[in-house]
Amino acid sequence: MDRNVRFFLNTVFPARCILCNGSFYYTYQNLLCGDCIQSIKAEKLTYCRSCGRKDQNCQRCLKKRLFNDIQIFRNADFKIIELISVFKFKYYKNLSVIIADIIREDFLKYLNEKDIELVTYVPLHKKVYKKRGFNHLKAILENLIPEGMLKETVVKIKDTPFQTELKAEERALNLKDAFQLEDRRSIENKNVLLFDDILTTGSTVRSVYDQIKKGKPKGIFGYIIAR
C-alpha cells in the first residue's frame, strides 16, 4: 500500500487494538497495537516438564513420565487468552502471523535445543475445520517452520464439545477415543514436537500424546503458548 494512502486511512479510519481498544497507526496489520504486542513476552515459569502441571515435582510423572520435555511460553493472562480466542473463534486468520512473531525466538530456540525433526499439532474435527476454514495451530506453525517439517500425524475422529465449555473432571472423558494416529511412518524413530495453544488440565495434549506414542517416535516433546 502506498505510504500516502496508508497515512490518509490512518487519519480518517484509525485502527483500534482488539486487546486494549486504543487507537494506533498501523503499517502491516490493523488488529494489535505495538504496545500490546511488545507486552506479550516469554516468562520463566516453574512447572512439571513432563506434563506441564504447576507442580514442579509432579508425583504422577515421577511414577510414569509423559513428554520428554514441555516448553511453556508464558502464563495465560487476559491479553494472550483474548488474542487466541479472537483468532480461533472470530476467524481472524491473519493473527497467525502476529502470534508466530511473538513466540518465534523462543520456539525456534527450543526446536534447535531438542533436535526436533517433526512438528505436529492438535487436530480439529472435520466439522469444526469446515466451519472455521483453517486449523489455527497449523496456521501459526506455517509462519515458523518449513513445510516439510510440519505434519498432521493425528486426526480427530469424534466431534466433541470444546474443552472450554466443560468442568475439569469432564474434560478427559470428553476426549475418550476422540483421536486416532493417522501417519505412523512419518514419526517412527524421530523427535516429534506437539504444539498447542492453551494448557488447562492437560487432557487434550495427553490424549494426542497417547496416539503419537503408538508411532514409536524417538522422543515426544511439547510446546504450549500459555498455561
Contact 126, 83 (CB under 8 A): no
Pairing of the two strands 191-198 and 118-121: parallel
Contact 100, 145 (CB under 8 A): no
More confident residue, 175 or 216: 216
At residue 30, the pLDDT reads 81
Strand 23-24 and strand 15-16: the pairing is antiparallel
Q: Please state, as a whole number, how many other Cβ atoms lie within 10 Å of the Cβ of residue 154.
A: 26
User: What does the pLDDT look like over 155-189, one tens digit per residue?
Assistant: 999 988 766 665 666 666 777 889 999 989 999 99
- Residue 192 is predicted with a pLDDT of 98
Start-end of H helices in the chain: 3-12, 34-39, 59-63, 78-89, 95-113, 126-132, 136-141, 168-174, 184-187, 203-213
Residue 1 confidence (pLDDT) above 70: no
Q: What pLDDT sits at residue 202?
A: 87
Q: State how far the Cα of 119 lies from the Cα of 18, in Å rounded to an integer.
A: 30
Helix axes 78-89, 95-113, angle to 10 degrees: 110
> For residue 74, what are the CA distances in angstroms to 35, 64, 70, 204, 227?
17, 25, 12, 18, 7
pTM exceeding the 0.85 threshold for the entire prediction: yes
- Give residue 9's pLDDT band: very low, low, confident or very high (50, 70, 90): low
Helices then strands, counting H and E runs in the chain, come out as 10, 8
Taking the C-alpha atoms of residue 191 and residue 183, their distance in angstroms, rounded to an integer, is 15
pLDDT tens digits for range 116-142: 999 999 999 999 999 999 999 999 999
Question: For 13-62, what is each residue's pLDDT tens digit?
Answer: 678 898 999 988 777 678 899 899 999 999 999 999 999 988 777 888 88
> Scanning the structure block, which residue is given the C-alpha cell 525466538?
105
Between 167 and 63, where is the model more confident?
63
3-class state of residue 97 by DSSP: helix
- Would you say 207 and 54 are in contact if contact means Cβ atoms under 8 Å apart? no
Rounded to an integer, the average pLDDT of 74-78 is 94
* Mean of all residue pLDDT scores within the chain: 89
